[in-house]
Amino acid sequence: MTDHTLCQAELAGTGSYLPEKILTNFDLEKMLDTSDEWIRTRTGIQERRIASEKESSSVLAAHAARKALESANITADELDIIIVCTSTPDVLFPSTACFVQKEIGATRSAAFDISAVCSGFVYGLSIAEQYIKSGRYRHVLVIGSEVNSRIVDWTDRTTCILFGDGAGAVILKQKDSSEECGLLSSHIYSDGNLSSLIEVPKAIGRIPENGNSDKFFIKMSGNATFKVAVKRMTEVCQEALKYNGLSRDDVDLIVPHQANQRIIDAVVKRLEVSPEKVFLNIHKYGNTSAASIPIAIDEAKRTGRIKPGCRMLIMVVGAGLTWGAAVIKW
């Protein structure tokens, strides 16, 4: 193993929160010209969670944050930074992270949001990693939180079937030992030339450019997104493994962004990894955007899929176009 994999940041705690309301494919059959079979065979999704009217991104995030603090056995006033990764903020400003800070009582921390859509959590991990490696901060809370149900067109059967609401959180802590574990590396990329593949075209800071710009709804080019998503995630996973001197056989668990079962299957096939190593919960929650990976990590940890010494590869692609991967050793 090469020296650059000796990471100083460990994942000290995890947490997640899902709204109580469940919207099944059979419920959608009553709303749209679709069917449970059509949705399952094309996406792998059977149901998704929908936030109540009183549940904004900050509310979901605060629930997940409290569970992560409990898991890490630290208090909120020990946090140095709160990073909320979201594309569905409570308001344009202040940041959703400031609302979370207030709610959990983290009075000594800095707080800010980042927006990289589905890739947001991996981007957040990468930022937190740099803060901790610099020695400037000891505890960083990274949260992915989304209320996607607020920005989907419930008359558009091609998009509304995909998304759900939820939040996941992790606490990164500066390690006390030199043991080779924790966040070994993170790798993030973007390509603005592909920004039109997935977008919410409503204009805020610019003059509207098309007829859809009066709506805060997700618009997608499904087939084109599928092809580029598979290519980019495969490439960045190969880069992450090579960077850490690992082969696919060295990976114990893969936690992909839970966007579409077909995309996940295609990437796993290209990587030539056993499907048994892949953690999936897309059937229960759908695509929760930036919350997808931290929810999956927390669930994998609670259900015993993550054990001490486990080498985990996480991978994501999202609007922007953005994509990334990270390697974690527990």
DSSP type of residue 212:
T
The total number of structural domains that make up the chain: 2
Q: Please check whether residue 276 is in contact with residue 258, taking contact to mean a CB–CB distance below 8 angstroms.
A: no
- What are the C-alpha distances in Å from 189 to residues 233, 293, 294, 324? 10, 17, 19, 6
- Same-domain check for residues 28 and 69: yes
- Same-domain check for residues 292 and 208: yes
CATH number at residue 204: 3.40.47.10
Q: What is the pLDDT of residues 311-324, one digit of tens each?
A: 999 999 999 999 99
* Residue finishing a domain among 147, 174, 201: 174
- Same-domain check for residues 238 and 295: yes
- Same-domain check for residues 163 and 234: no
- Buried b / exposed e over 4-22, threshold 16 CB at 10 Å, is ebebbbbbbbbbbbbbeee
Q: Average pLDDT, stretch 74-84? A: 98
Q: Average pLDDT, stretch 249-278? A: 97
- Same-domain check for residues 276 and 130: no
Entry pTM: 0.95
Q: Average pLDDT, stretch 88-112? A: 97
- Same-domain check for residues 137 and 205: no
Burial of 289 (0-12, 13-18, 19+ CB in 10 A): buried
* Residue finishing a domain among 157, 174, 191: 174
- Same-domain check for residues 87 and 194: no
- Same-domain check for residues 153 and 198: no
Instruction: Using the predicted structure, report yes or no on whether residue 3 has a pLDDT greater than 50.
Output: no
* Residue finishing a domain among 153, 174, 195: 174
Distance between CA atoms of residues 226 and 154, nearest Å: 22
- Same-domain check for residues 224 and 105: no
- Same-domain check for residues 198 and 239: yes
Q: What is the pLDDT of residues 17-36, one digit of tens each?
A: 999 999 999 999 999 999 99
What percentage of the chain reaches a pLDDT higher than 90? 88
What pLDDT is recorded for position 180?
A: 76
What pLDDT is recorded for position 203?
A: 65
Q: What is the pLDDT of residues 201-226, one digit of tens each?
A: 886 676 665 555 457 899 988 788 99
Tell me which amino acid residue 264 is: I
* Half-sphere exposure for 37 (CA within 13 Å, toward CB): 0
- Same-domain check for residues 132 and 199: no
- Same-domain check for residues 324 and 217: yes
Q: Which residues are catalytic?
A: 118, 257, 287
Range of the domain at 246: 182-329
